[in-house]
Amino acid sequence: MAVPIILQILFGFYHFLAVVTVPANLVTIVILSRGKCGLGKGVSMYLVSMATADLLVVLFSMVLPTLIPKYVRVPFFFYTAVCSSNAVLGYAAIDCSVWLTIAFTIDRFVAICCHNLKARYCTQKTAMAVIATVSLVNILRNVPFYFKHQPRGTLGGVPWGCATRPDFFNLPGWVAFFWLHHLLNPLIPYLLILLFNALTVRHIVLANRARRGLRASSQEEKREDTEMANRRKSIILLFVVSGSFILLWMTKISVFLLMEISNQHFYPSYNHPIIIADVTGSMLFYLSSCTNTTIYALTQRKVREELKRAVKYPLILIMELVSSFK
Query: Domains of the chain (ranges plus CATH)?
Result: 5-312 (1.20.1070.10)
Task: Spell out where 129-286 has E strands.
Answer: 149-150, 153-155, 158-160, 163-164
Give residue-wise pLDDT tens across range 142-192. 999 999 888 888 877 888 888 888 888 788 898 899 888 888 887 898 889
Please indicate whether residue 324 or residue 150 has the higher confidence score (pLDDT). Answer: 150
pTM recorded for the entire structure: 0.83
Give the per-residue pLDDT at 89.
Answer: 93
The vertex-64 CA angle with 179 and 251, nearest 5°, equals 40
pLDDT at 224 over 60: no
Give residue-wise pLDDT tens across range 278-319. 778 877 877 776 676 567 656 777 777 877 887 787 788 888
Query: What is the rounded CA–CA span in Å between residue 173 and residue 182?
Result: 14
Are the beta carbons of 62 and 17 closer than 8 angstroms? yes
